[in-house]
Amino acid sequence: MLKECAQHGYFRADACPVCGQPGRFLMNDRELDHLGRVLTGILRHFPDRYELPIDPQGWVSLPQIVRAISQKHPAYHWLRPQHLVAIAETDAKGRYEVRDDRVRATYGHTVDVDLDLPTENIPERLYFPVTADEVGIVLEVGLKPSDRKKVHLSKTAEDARAAGSVRTPEPIILEVDAKRAREQGIVIMRAGKTVYLVDRVPSEFLKRTESPPAAADS
């Protein structure tokens, strides 16, 4: 459930996590899930399906998105820019950025964009999940984009493991020497709250992390 507290802004809960007030209702969980998927799809993959222009840095006008969604999905005739701002600001992964009356995805693009994201305060080590079939070749040739325009690195090994579990039950986690890579001129950008983007990572900056110890039998 998505709501708005007059004092503390948007939140996804029954009551404001700061003051405990019930807040103003904006949309239910089903609407939140569907609109989030639509917004992500437009900003990352298919703005053309909604006849929306996307600028070189990935920005799309909020009023134009609202109008396009309402036209294609008449059930959302009530949709206003504030609803999309609320989705963006409460997203736990930081998948969106809102600036003035525009919104963009911070990562995950399959359309061509030239993201001008921050390149400072990058952790010295970042992580990437691979399958058992991939690990050998990746350690040999490095990381390159596959279905996305950038390589997506994770802030922690745990974040990488969660991302990799979508593809394989037991992902193998590679550690990226981000500090040394940046010293060698590789640009790494800070995207979502746990995601970092890079064009490629040569193999010299990669190593396999130690597997976590197996749980002891009880």
Give the pLDDT band (50/70/90) at residue 211: low
CATH of the domain at 139: 3.20.170.30
pLDDT at position 148 is 85
**Distance, C-alpha 58 to centroid of its chain:** 14
Cα 128 to Cα 134: distance, rounded to the nearest angstrom: 12
For the ranges 135-139, 146-150, 174-178, which has the lowest average pLDDT? 146-150
Whether 154 and 62 share a structural domain? no
Residue range 32-85, pLDDT digits in tens = 999 999 999 999 999 999 999 999 999 999 999 999 999 999 999 999 999 999
Q: What value does the mean pLDDT take over residues 155-167?
A: 93
Position 205 pLDDT exceeds 70: yes
pTM for this one? 0.82
CATH of the domain at 93: 1.10.10.970
Whether 130 and 100 share a structural domain? no
In angstroms, the Cα distances linking 179 to 121, 122, 126 are: 11, 8, 9
Could you give the 3-state DSSP secondary structure of residue 88? helix
**Residue 12, domain extent:** 2-105
pLDDT at position 215 is 43
pLDDT at position 179 is 97
